[in-house]
Amino acid sequence: MVHFRRTLIAAILATTGVGMAVAQNNTNSPYTRYGYGQLAEIGSANSRAMGGTAYALRDPLHVNSANPASYSAVDSLTFIFDGGISLQNTNFSNGTQKVNAKNSSFDYITMQFRAAPWAGISLGLLPYANVGYNISEYYADADTQEASSSLSYTGDGGLHQVYLGAGFKVFKGLSLGANMSFFWGSVTRTRTLSFPYDATKFATIINNEVNVKTWKLDIGAQYTLNLGKKNALTVGAVYSPGHEMSHSAYEYRQTGTDANASYSQQEIPGHYDLPSSWGVGLAYVYDQRLTLAADFMSQDWQDAAYEGSKDVFCRRTRFSFGAEMIPNPMGRNYLSRIKYRVGAFVSKPYYKIEGVRAADEYGVTAGFGLPVPRTRSMLSISGQYVRTQGARANFLDENILRICVGITFNERWFFKRKVD
């Protein structure tokens, strides 16, 4: 009889409510006024604790959606279910004022199982980008109060993907894989101009709404070289081609309020592209106790059109490195079986302001992998400090403290009980 546990089914059903959070606004960053907003991190909670490194990691007990070639490492008897959420506090500063904001977010839901001794399958739901901001500016007229005006900017929305992927062992040491995703989302931005002290002037509300949908392909490869009995070196690489997305984009304008309001609508011309991207990684593993990893990623946003125009964005790059240590994987002492993780990263975001790259970003990370007693499951907790440094003195700086909690259920589904 095939072994089956109700606990995993309960966990999968419980995430139905979490999946509804895909549309949740989980950022307050004014930088999300530009482009598609803040790009989501790749990888699960364990890789985030290691600075976001993932391209060369092969773990039979975790899902690594960043490189589909890793799916071939899944244990033959295991069905893996992985989900994660984040909590964050952000401090915004423009040099004279400081503001704090708190957010929570859905991060990922993924599943993985072995289809054959040489192949693994994975599917999941991942965020790609998030938009969320609310900015107000007041222009006071020194001579006439009635001429004073108020201008506000708000935005919300995001992009998401559902993927199905497979990884295959081609020959000893080499694995190849691919994810095929359905990619969709919408972004709404609103500008409101009002004259709070002059009833004869009508407020103007301009609402821009962009909806996109397309496919997304991610191709991955990993090669592992065993250096003796205890040492292994893995090289990983990924590539995703860019292309134009199907879209609809409209501007809605309202002047005045109530019965005196006038309305107009027009299509926003141009097209919208998904950028090509690539990444490489290197991971060294010693005795299944120590892992050292480093990644480099590049996204060609400078060649991606937005509203029909190119050179709206900059090339996005990210360099990260991390480490994981397990004192004694088979030890009786619980503390010796905890996975201790640290990492750091440096990133150059893709958005431009006033023709220049808006900011630089860097962060440090740390976390733990806590084994769930009497199971093969794991609770992963990571902490991140992220600093976004504005490129100019009048640009915003952001300091983010983020906690990510991930739970990985490892259930033995595919073995048969022996009956005497």
Query: What distance in Å separates the CA atoms of residue 304 and residue 313, rounded to the nearest whole number?
Result: 8
pLDDT at 392 over 90: no
Residue 355 burial class via C-beta count within 10 angstroms: exposed 0-12, middle 13-18, buried 19 and up:
exposed
Distances (CA, A) of 108 to 15, 31, 41, 123, 324: 10, 23, 10, 11, 22
For 113-156, the pLDDT digits (tens) are 999 999 999 999 999 999 999 888 777 766 666 667 788 899 99
pLDDT for residue 300: 97
For 368-379, the pLDDT digits (tens) are 999 998 888 999
For the chain, which domains are there?
6-412 (2.40.160.60)
How many C-beta neighbours within 10 Å does residue 258 have?
Answer: 5
Confidence of residue 75 (pLDDT cuts 50, 70, 90): confident
The partner residues of 392 in beta bridges, in order of sequence, read: none
For 311-335, the pLDDT digits (tens) are 899 999 999 999 999 999 888 899 9
- The DSSP element (H or E) to which 11 belongs, if any, is helix 6-19
- The DSSP element (H or E) to which 419 belongs, if any, is none
- The DSSP element (H or E) to which 153 belongs, if any, is strand 149-171
Share of the chain above pLDDT 90, in %: 63
55 SS3 class:
coil
The pairs formed by 385-388 with CB atoms below 8 angstroms and a separation of 24 or more are 386/361, 386/362, 387/361, 387/362, 387/363, 388/29, 388/31, 388/349, 388/359, 388/360, 388/361
What DSSP assignment string belongs to 362-406? EEEEEEEEEEPTTSS-EEEEEEEEEEEEESSTTS-EEEEEEEEEE
Find the mean pLDDT for residues 59-88: 92
The pTM assigned to this predicted structure is 0.87
Find the mean pLDDT for residues 241-256: 92
Structure tokens at 144: 């006439």
pLDDT for residue 3: 38
pLDDT at 18 over 60: no
Return the closest-CA partner of residue 27 out of 125, 151, 154.
154
